[in-house]
Structure 1
Amino acid sequence: MSLIIDIEKTLGNFSLDVHFKAENEVLGLLGASGSGKTMTLKCIAGVITPDRGHIELDSQVLFDSEKKINLSPQKRRVGLLFQNYALFPNMTVWQNIRTGLLRDHMGRASADAAVKDIIEKLRLTGLEKHKPWQLSGGQQQRTALARILISAPQIILLDEPLSALDSCLRWEVETQLSDILAEYGKTVILVSHDRDEIYRLCSRASAMTGGCAGQPVPVEEMFERPSSISEALLSGCKNISRARRLTSRTLLAQDWGTVLKTDREIPENLCGVGLHATDLCPSWSGKNENSIRCHIEKRISDPLYDIYLLRPQSGDWPEGEDHFKTISNLPQAEDSASSRLLRMDCPKNSSQPFSKEQELTVSMPCQKLMFFT
């Protein structure tokens, strides 16, 4: 099933501008709270009406502002799973799932057989008479998904499907959800602010910032080779500097105060350069490629990494912070000085921990640098 969406919507000071296509895949919308992810889903489902544009699902027009087409939610055959699952609290698991068939004209025996079948598929056997409050978070989610799947939707929309779960339960539910979506086999749009969920559950993803969705790309490409500063930040890149192209293979990283060499052609319209925290590494000899002298501002320990916040010993910020925020299309940081720091994540026990206030030379491998235009 293919989805084509090209819409605009303004609510107060917020403007939504979304254009993408998806077909028989799990497509992720990755963005922070307030970026327009949920609003996009509601426009597809018919809960919110766009101001302008076109939405088409498997050659059926759901919305077209010029042709004045706007199908009701009931006629769109869209399954929308809300963050809180929206189960009826006074109904049992069986009854909740059965409501997904209310619009279908089938006999009671056929309906009961369909409910029983979906209960078995989603491993809810034995819970048929339970109310939502008697279920775990994972069981509630599977019940809500069963109610959607039994209605035979042409597309499934998942709004932060794992956000309501604690960390212990989330992994178990995520693996179950992955299996369910694989068996479904049609188009799924999954929105999340969690980049790890997007990476594991989706084949392609689009970064959403300020109501705008970037063109979907394979998740590996988004995380390894993001094309914009906004996309890089959403995908977890911690080290970003304004940059200017000097030659085809050298650039000036203005905020780090250093010239960097690269192993590939630098775009002429370069505006930024990035490096993942796990790719920044100590330069023991001080002679490694793209070495930069830093002062250790802080050391933070987590279960897997020693995290170091490093201040480059030079940098070109004077004209820069407002311009940096403008090109990244992100809100001004409360403490803009913190954005000058480099972050280096070292695996536990990989080396002797460095001390705060220590001077350290680090290396930026040329093959790991990311270019932003």
Structure 2
Amino acid sequence: MARAADALLLLSFGGPEGPEDVLPFLENVTRGRGVPPERLAEVAQHYLHFGGVSPINALNRDIIAAVERELAAAGADLPVYFGNRNWHPLVEDTLSRMAADGVRSALVFPTSAWGGYSGCRQYDEDIVRARTAVGSGAPELVKLRQYFDHPLLVAAFADAVRAARDTLPAETRDGVRLVFTAHSVPVAADAAAGPPADGGHLYSRQVAETARLCAAATGVDDYDVVWQSRSGPPRIPWLDPDIVDHLETLPDKGFRSVIVCPVGFVSDHLEVIWDLDNEAAAKAGELGIAFARAATPGTDPRFAEMVVELIGEQLRGIAPRRLGAVPGYGCTVDGAPCAVDCCASVRRPSSR
């Protein structure tokens, strides 16, 4: 059923925009998880390597500008707001401004395509927290559905893989391995991802499905799905193998080059540019493997086109377009989960 909306809210993770922001930002991210100060200081160095600036906020502003252009071209008068979970502009502040601007209902586009706690349910919690902070005048918020298998997203990833292949030395392209990577999560969190009746593991299943669709679109039959950016105590199992460990297995299999596609990210987050462009690329160099990293889709014009299409599903009742066979869920209203007990949080043990 189509519904009305006064605005769109792009809801994201957030990132520091200067050296002085780094530790306060990391403290927000890890609040309540018992992460020791020395671990925060270690991660802070990743941000300080880039001047203390995460690319995520600037990239999100670029996405917003592209979405605004697409909306204008479609004749849709829908202002776009920007809010974050962990750093300014914080979603609570943005929602307060929306209320002051007279917004009574808005759609929410999360910068995560996935199910699971971190990729979906936590954004619902952000909505509830922000609406509670604003109080009785808070706009109604409808979070758009998961979009991991949207044809425009898959097409953007597939073209990025093709472009990455073209950057490899010609003599290595007949010995190239395509490797998809996404942010690792604890095994227990993945097991709890999705409605209980669906059997769990929704996040890893959706990542695998997007990788399958992208590989098929590029004519690749055999590829790998691996993980990156794990954190927390070593005794807690996370989804693996890690991308760097996996690269070490490629030379013995005869591969002379690798294309790494960060299929789990819509933009070049710090995890992409640090874990892939630095650590993974350096490991490939040590191993004598040519390395190419596919671009993330947020800068592709089709990404903004997809966002506007998702909006159209809600405002004009157009039929959703999906390529995959793995379930996808949404939408959620005012942060209410789209299924009972869906993607419940699995509390992480202290890192101490």
Q: Work out whether the TM-score is over 0.5.
A: no
Which entry has the higher C-alpha Rg, 1 or 2?
A: 1
Q: Which one has the bigger helix percentage?
A: 2
Structure 1 length-normalised TM: 0.28
Structure 2 length-normalised TM: 0.29
Structure possessing the higher relative contact order (Cα contacts under 8 Å, 6 or more residues apart): 2
Q: Which one has the bigger strand percentage?
A: 1
